[in-house]
C-alpha cells in the first residue's frame, strides 16, 4: 500500500496529466507557438479552464479542511525576471517543461534536444544560486501571499470574476474562430 501510494500514485497522476496534455494538443509545438502568435488559443483555453475548475474545487477542499494551500514565495524581482526568461524560452523552444516531456514521448526529437538544454539550465541555476540568493531572491520578497490577502476581496468573488472573464473571453475567441472558418 505504501509503495503504491509513493510510486504508482504519482506515476498514474503524471500519466493522466501527460495523457490530457497530448489530447489537449499542447504537446504540439506548433499549437504553443501559435498561441503566442495569437493564431490558436488552445493553450489559454486549457489553462484558463484548469485554473477556474481546479481553483473552485481546491477552495472547497481547503474550506472543509481536506487540504491546505501550497503557495509559492512572492520574491517579486526573481519571479518577474524568471517569468520573462521563461516567456523567451517558451517561444524559442516551443514548449514548457511539462509539455516538453510529453512531446518527447510523442516523437518530437527536437523536444528531447531542448530537454538536454533544460538540464543545462538547471545546472547553471544551481551554480549561480549563491549569487542570486545574495543579490536577487530577497529583493521585494512579500512571502507566501494570495490575491485575496492583498486585496481584501474574498476568494469566491475572485473566482466569480475569473469565471465570468474566462467565459466572456472564450466566447469571443470561439465566435472569432467560427467566423474565420466560414471564410
Q: Which of residues 133-162 bind another protein (CB under 8 A)?
A: 133, 136, 142, 144-150, 155, 158
Residues β-bridged to residue 92 = none
Question: Is residue 72 within the footprint of another protein (CB under 8 A)?
Answer: yes
Work out how close the CB of 175 gets to another protein at its nearest, in angstroms, rounded to a whole number: 15
Question: Is residue 129 within the footprint of another protein (CB under 8 A)?
Answer: yes
Q: Are 50 and 56 in contact (CB under 8 A)?
A: no
Question: Is residue 49 within the footprint of another protein (CB under 8 A)?
Answer: yes
Work out how close the CB of 23 gets to another protein at its nearest, in angstroms, rounded to a whole number: 4
Work out how close the CB of 166 gets to another protein at its nearest, in angstroms, rounded to a whole number: 10
Question: Is residue 163 within the footprint of another protein (CB under 8 A)?
Answer: no
C-alpha triplet 156, 162, 166: angle, nearest 5°: 145
| Crossing angle for the helix pair 97-105 and 9-23, to the nearest 10 degrees | 80
Applying CB under 8 A, among 86, 164, 165, 177 the residue interacting with another protein is 86
Q: Are 155 and 58 in contact (CB under 8 A)?
A: no
Applying CB under 8 A, among 63, 73, 171, 177 the residue interacting with another protein is 73
Stated length of the chain = 183
Amino acid at each position: 500500500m505504501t509503495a503504491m501510494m509513493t510510486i504508482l500514485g504519482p506515476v498514474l497522476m503524471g500519466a493522466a496529466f501527460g495523457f490530457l496534455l497530448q489530447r489537449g494538443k499542447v504537446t504540439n509545438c506548433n499549437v504553443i507557438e501559435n498561441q503566442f502568435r495569437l493564431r490558436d488559443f488552445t493553450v489559454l483555453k486549457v489553462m484558463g479552464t484548469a485554473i477556474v475548475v481546479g481553483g473552485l474545487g481546491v477552495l472547497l477542499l481547503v474550506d472543509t479542511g481536506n487540504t491546505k494551500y501550497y503557495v509559492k514565495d512572492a520574491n517579486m524581482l526573481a519571479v518577474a525576471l524568471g517569468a520573462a526568461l521563461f516567456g523567451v524560452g517558451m517561444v524559442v523552444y516551443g514548449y514548457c517543461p511539462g509539455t516538453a516531456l510529453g512531446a518527447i514521448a510523442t516523437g518530437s526529437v527536437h523536444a528531447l534536444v531542448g530537454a538536454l538544454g533544460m538540464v543545462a539550465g538547471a545546472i547553471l541555476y544551481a551554480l549561480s544560486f549563491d549569487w542570486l540568493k545574495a543579490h536577487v531572491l530577497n529583493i521585494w520578497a512579500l512571502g507566501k501571499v494570495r490575491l485575496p490577502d492583498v486585496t481584501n476581496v474574498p476568494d469566491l468573488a475572485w473566482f466569480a470574476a475569473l469565471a465570468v472573464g474566462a467565459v466572456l473571453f472564450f466566447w469571443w475567441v470561439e465566435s472569432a474562430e467560427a467566423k474565420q472558418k466560414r471564410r
